[in-house]
Structure 1
Amino acid sequence: MSTLIKHEILGEMLNSTGKGFEQARAEGKEAFESQGFPTNKSEEYKFTAISKKLEQSIQNFGAAESFEVTAEDVKNNLFEGFTGDVLVFTNGHFQSSLSSEIAGIEVALLSEKSDTPVGSIAKPAKDPFCALNQAVFTDGIFISVPKKAVVEKPILLLNFNKAVNGQVIQPRVWIEAGDFAEVTFINHTVNLSDVTYFSNKVVEVKGGVNSQIRFYKLQNEGKNVIEANNTETDIHKDGRFTSVTISLSGELVRNNLSLNIIGSNSEGNMYGLYLLNSKSHVDNHTNVDHTVPHAESNELYKGILADQSRGVFNGKIFVRQDAQKTNAFQQNNNILLSEDAVVNTKPQLEIWADDVKCSHGCTTGQMDEEALFYLQARGIAKDQAKGLLLYAFAGEVLEHIRDESFREYCTNLVQDRLGSKF
């Protein structure tokens, strides 16, 4: 993307920003102008030409405004059996009148919490889209779970998107959980338009000592969405953070997920599933930074790609010199159902400590013909047998979703896609 277009875009977006967070926005603007939109010469975006796609597809880089949805719209988009609380957003703008009042949980606009250290976890210098969001976000949501609070029901972040003429949606979320707190978040977006638009979301998560945070994300907005996500968390002593990302559609989706393990006896878990068809493109970039001893990370991403779809997986694990007794495991497995489907996978380990247990690996292949023949020989039709095998492959990721209603919802979507329902 040309320098002229870059400055025009930034200027148009900055004109719509609100007051507050001037220093954070200035830092984001400086970082974005320094990095610019990534090109195919950028190692981090080598296989994902998102800037070219934006230049081709987005005609209006103004910020998308909020719009009206009803309580009935919210009700109709809840998962069957869901009993948790709901926070509603339209084009990234928080709708308090449609949202639950969650007992004991503080929920506010970021503009009302100007002392929040925006950009202190998801640093804008690390990624150009993180920098762009910080430079131009108009507001965001602040969620604080107090010390020792155990939130038994999940909190659903329900996003309704309806961008006009391909506008840009820039959500910003800050989540913090106090010491010994436990909470589950589900991030789900409902697309109400068929135009191409750009969603650029940043989520910062600050965990306390011995906090337990689960963050589930479903990406199923449709084939016309261009999306960039930056989710980053600090994991403190005895803390645990678990992420599950399910990607089922999107013209081009880039997910950046970073875990900063800064407390001993802590644990970070990252699970992902991407089922791609048509010309969908999903790029998962993950980063785990072990900086202290006696900590663990686990990562498993699986992909099933059909038609002319393309997947990218780049997982990095850093084990610093002081991070002795680290256990770090990473695996990426893929099945290609078409000769035209492509996956680029690159698991990475960088280890400076000498007393660790670390492993990584990746596999890419086709259907197991012997297993398929075995099921057919027992009277199962070929398409159903294929679906069952694919679901057995994908189901390992879904098992890490603890909320039953959301797990069942995702399971039904995956089974419908794979044809594994009887």
Structure 2
Amino acid sequence: MSTETIDLKTRLITDFHARESVMNGEAGSAFHQKKRAALAQFDELGFPTIKNEEWKYSNVRDLISVSYNFNADSSIELADLEDLKIPVQDANIIYFVNGHYSPELSRIVSSSDQITIDSLANAYKKNPSLVNSFFNELTQDDNDAFTALNTAFTQDGIFVNVPDNQSVEHPIILRFVSDARTQNVGSQPRNIIAVGRNAQVKLAEAFRTLGNERSFTNSVTEIYVGEEANVEYYKVQNESENSYHVGTTQVRMLDRSHFYAGTVTLNGRFTRNNLNIIIDGERCEAHMYGLYFPDGTQHVDNHTVADHRKPNSESNELYKGILRDKAKGVFNGKIFVRPDAQKTNAFQSCKNIVLSTEATMNTKPQLEIFADDVKCSHGTTTGQIDEEALFYMRSRGISKPEALSLLMFAFCADVVSQIKIDSIREYLENVIADKLASK
């Protein structure tokens, strides 16, 4: 273990105990006991190294080699956000700056009779027992140091509660902005999304950075999908060249529910996305789409789990990547079919285009089946651009750079087209087109 690892770990644990010493009676609450247990887990695990199989291709040494201010104030105003070119949307827009809710920047348009949308800190003050009934219930068994760290230091994030039979018209857009203009900043947002029976909602998380100092985001989102509920979830990362991001999304689905996830990584020095779906009901459908574009020395790691625990459900997964320069990509997709999950239908595919001899892509599809009446498949491909298609386009007068850009955009289309929030899809189409045409 490096000196830097010990340094940051010790600093964080010391900070936790310093906060705890001034909490008075709140330190004995059930909520805080979960945080204390998570700290003990983090203390035992420590930051992962490449000896850990789950982190074999993702070295966090650089991430933890410096300190971050996890309580940094910010003076960000709407005018400061213009440079980020954030799309205008008819939606519930909730801003978090350095991990803390910003009511001045936010706008909630849905009726409180239809849905509860509040910061996690405010929701806990109003109804601690309700928040505690969801907090860490899906992640308590996650043997991951970053998840434990987030749980231990949970302060703010979003709390969304959609009652039974409610169809939420306006999407919920969570915008997490790191203000790294003057110092290294860290944030650990915790998000709880509880969707009731036969309810519908669309949700998106967007991560951006202001400034050139380092930023570290360690986010955890827990999503409860009730019986017959329909949830669309999108995650878009377009951060700075000095941003480090570790994010875990934990989902639990009940009978006849539908869950749809789209994860797009456009920019950032180090990105690790964990998407874990527990399919704990019959007649469920889970769909997972991913897209990533690392270049330079960027690193993108997508870990996914589809855990089938009940019969007659299906999951479908498609991840695609385009890698340039000295970029590194990782994909580890796991499908579990438990003994009771007969008649499961599970499909997984990861396809990558590598445009440089120095770029690397590590893929590891995993399929563990403990039932005998199932239909499951998985596969992965990594290769270069289709030379025949390139030749065909150039023979018709299209320049090589334009032909390459068109071919790569077409490669991305079957993922981008699945994004059902129009403003997000249009934004991504423009950003992706610019990114592909810039090289």
Q: Which of the five TM-score ranges fits, normalised by the shorter chain?
A: over 0.9
Deviates more, 1:147-156 or 1:169-178: 147-156
Q: CA deviation at 1:161?
A: 1.1
Are the aligned partners of 1:79 and 1:405 in contact in 2 as well (CA < 8 Å)?
A: no
* CA 67–200 in structure 1, closer or farther in 2 if over 3 Å, else same: same
Are the aligned partners of 1:28 and 1:124 in contact in 2 as well (CA < 8 Å)?
A: no
User: How much identity, in percent, do the aligned residues show?
Assistant: 41
CA distance, structure 1, for counterparts of residue 284 and residue 294 of structure 2: 33
Question: Hey, what does 1:212 align to over in structure 2?
Answer: 230
Question: Hey, what does 1:7 align to over in structure 2?
Answer: 10
Q: Identify which of 255, 262, 271 aligns with 1:237.
A: 255
Q: CA deviation at 1:382?
A: 1.0
Question: Hey, what does 2:193 align to over in structure 1?
Answer: 175
Q: CA deviation at 1:155?
A: 1.2
Q: Equivalences for 1:94-109 in 2 at 5 Å?
A: 94-101=101-108, 102-103=110-111, 104-109=114-119
Q: Identify which of 77, 84, 92 aligns with 2:99.
A: 92
Are the aligned partners of 1:66 and 1:92 in contact in 2 as well (CA < 8 Å)?
A: no
Question: Hey, what does 2:275 align to over in structure 1?
Answer: 257
Per-residue CA deviations over 1:318-361 (Å, capped at 9, x if unaligned) read: 00000001000000000000000000000110000000000000
Question: Hey, what does 1:129 align to over in structure 2?
Answer: 146
2:426 counterpart SS class: helix
Deviates more, 1:210-219 or 1:96-105: 96-105
CA distance, structure 2, for counterparts of residue 415 and residue 160 of structure 1: 23
Are the aligned partners of 2:254 and 2:282 in contact in 1 as well (CA < 8 Å)?
A: yes
Q: Does 1:247 align with 2:265?
A: yes
Q: CA deviation at 1:262?
A: 0.3
Question: Hey, what does 1:59 align to over in structure 2?
Answer: 67
CA distance, structure 2, for counterparts of residue 195 and residue 305 of structure 1: 25
Are the aligned partners of 1:92 and 1:169 in contact in 2 as well (CA < 8 Å)?
A: yes
Are the aligned partners of 1:391 and 1:420 in contact in 2 as well (CA < 8 Å)?
A: no
Question: Hey, what does 1:33 align to over in structure 2?
Answer: 43
CA distance, structure 1, for counterparts of residue 84 and residue 171 of structure 2: 15
Question: Hey, what does 1:402 align to over in structure 2?
Answer: 420
Letter paired with 1:7: T
Per-residue CA deviations over 1:20-65 (Å, capped at 9, x if unaligned) read: 6211101211221221110110000000001x11232x223x4133
Q: Which runs of 5+ in 1 are unaligned?
A: none
Question: Hey, what does 2:128 align to over in structure 1?
Answer: 114
Q: Identify which of 139, 145, 166 aligns with 2:156.
A: 139
* CA 40–132 in structure 1, closer or farther in 2 if over 3 Å, else same: same
CA distance, structure 2, for counterparts of residue 124 and residue 100 of structure 1: 35
Q: Equivalences for 1:312-351 in 2 at 5 Å?
A: 312-351=330-369
CA distance, structure 2, for counterparts of residue 270 and residue 363 of structure 1: 18
CA distance, structure 2, for counterparts of residue 154 and residue 74 of structure 1: 20
Q: Identify which of 152, 167, 173 aligns with 1:156.
A: 173
Are the aligned partners of 1:332 and 1:361 in contact in 2 as well (CA < 8 Å)?
A: yes
Are the aligned partners of 1:305 and 1:336 in contact in 2 as well (CA < 8 Å)?
A: yes
Q: Does 1:45 align with 2:55?
A: yes
Deviates more, 1:194-203 or 1:160-169: 160-169
Q: Equivalences for 1:335-374 in 2 at 5 Å?
A: 335-374=353-392
Q: CA deviation at 1:75?
A: 7.6
CA distance, structure 1, for counterparts of residue 228 and residue 437 of structure 2: 41
Q: CA deviation at 1:66?
A: 4.2
Letter paired with 1:322: D
* CA 213–73 in structure 1, closer or farther in 2 if over 3 Å, else same: farther
Letter paired with 2:15: E
Q: CA deviation at 1:76?
A: 7.6
Question: Hey, what does 1:82 align to over in structure 2?
Answer: 89
Q: CA deviation at 1:72?
A: 4.7
1:159 counterpart SS class: strand
* CA 316–215 in structure 1, closer or farther in 2 if over 3 Å, else same: same
Per-residue CA deviations over 1:77-105 (Å, capped at 9, x if unaligned) read: 67545211211111111123432232122
Per-residue CA deviations over 1:276-305 (Å, capped at 9, x if unaligned) read: 110000000001100000000010000000
Letter paired with 2:240: G
Are the aligned partners of 1:124 and 1:134 in contact in 2 as well (CA < 8 Å)?
A: no
1:276 counterpart SS class: coil
CA distance, structure 2, for counterparts of residue 252 and residue 341 of structure 1: 15
Letter paired with 2:146: F
